[in-house]
Amino acid sequence: MKFYSPAIITAKGKLVFGHGTNIVWNDVIARHMSDKGHKIDYFYPSWNHQGKMYNHLDPSELSLVTRRLEETMLKELNHFGVSEGYTHYRDTEEDSLENAQKYFRMLLERGFIVERGEEHFLDLSKVYNETNFFKILEEIRYEPPHLKKRLIDLTKTLDGLYPVSKDRKYATSISGSLRKINPIFDLAVSPTLFSEDPVDYAIDGCRTLPRGTFFPIVVWASLFNKPFARNICAHGYLELKGYDRFKVSDIIKTVENPVIDSDVLRYCALLPTNSLEDTQITPDTFTKGKKIIYRASNLSKHLVKHYGPQRISNEGNEDMDRMIEGMSVVDAINIFQKRVYELSRKIEKGCKLNQTDITQYLEMTKSIGSVFPSTVNRIARILNG
């Protein structure tokens, strides 16, 4: 299975919490599907090193600067507990450059890319009219469902000629031209390094949809006349109230250390994924995430103390599994949270848990493992006694 989210633009020099949302959402579904036996192909992290801000650097300086930025940002991304082992992607590496040139030439030969002097443009109207573009939009599964209308509306505002060449020192060369390929084209065709089949899941923020998702859909329609992705999901903008800035490094500094658990950050990062509307994250949100994890861990201790060692179920909760696979991760979190709190209150009232209660908790814990991997690993150790 192939997973995609827009690359991190290193020239901006910062990693924001919204990057965490994209990456954690991908990671949750990828972990879940991997546990189901699927092979996962996912470029993580995906780096865009072609920014205009690098134009003044020599090649040797570019390598040092971008690697230093990668190291810094990767340390911040590691706070989200993202699985290791995914394939790194850099749009300045030779395989990426060759990949972009190959498909750029293909669209140029087909007339979808046109020249106007030194400039190159993707003819969006030609793509809409001469491919199955609108049928392709109907074939894709969306979360939330009204995301489809948002993308269809973009065809009305993004029409005519779209620039696919830029003045970038380190962007991909165009044969016979002083201009370079617009970096968003490189990123649009980056999944073709896996294969020319559609990606299984594409995840983006609603404010970057035109470049991060809509443009790849257009490019894939013009290249292959088929969907860019089978499932496309987008989230609303993340607003962090009570913090001066929304850089990940600043959040980590300002929140109390006991709260900084990777699963708490994952919880906060996932909250905007059930809507295209803005979602506010406050210090209280981090506390709520911590309480869920705290309660789930204490529940496992209670089971061992009063019912003996247990094992997390091999099979997950069907409803939660269906929600995660359907990109509704927040719904799965809410079900888990509700049941954990119900069982905790039952214990606080002095009631015994029956076998159905225990089995359900163990099944739900299995399903939530892709969302809260650190917590579930800890619970597994507790349950083993």
The structural domains of the chain, with segments of one domain joined by +, span 2-235, 282-383
Apex 126 CA angle, 123 and 129, nearest 5: 150
Query: Cα–Cα distance between 323 and 319 in angstroms, integer?
Result: 6
- 180 CB contacts (<8 Å, ≥6 apart)? 50, 165, 166, 167, 168, 169, 171, 172, 173, 174
- Per CATH, the number for 2-235 is 3.40.50.620
Instruction: Judge whether residue 245 has pLDDT over 60.
Output: no
Higher pLDDT, 338 or 176: 338
Region 9-30: mean pLDDT is: 89
Instruction: Judge whether residue 256 has pLDDT over 60.
Output: no
Question: 340 φ, ψ to 5°?
Answer: -60, -45
Q: What percent of the chain has pLDDT over 70?
A: 95
The pLDDT, as a whole number, for residue 243 is 58
How far apart, in Å, are the Cα atoms of 112 and each of 96, 133, 180, 268? 21, 13, 17, 42
The pLDDT, as a whole number, for residue 125 is 96
Residue 159 CB neighbours (<10 A): 12
The pLDDT, as a whole number, for residue 83 is 87
The pLDDT, as a whole number, for residue 258 is 47
pLDDT tens for each residue of 170-227 = 999 998 888 899 999 999 999 999 899 999 999 999 989 999 999 999 999 999 999 9
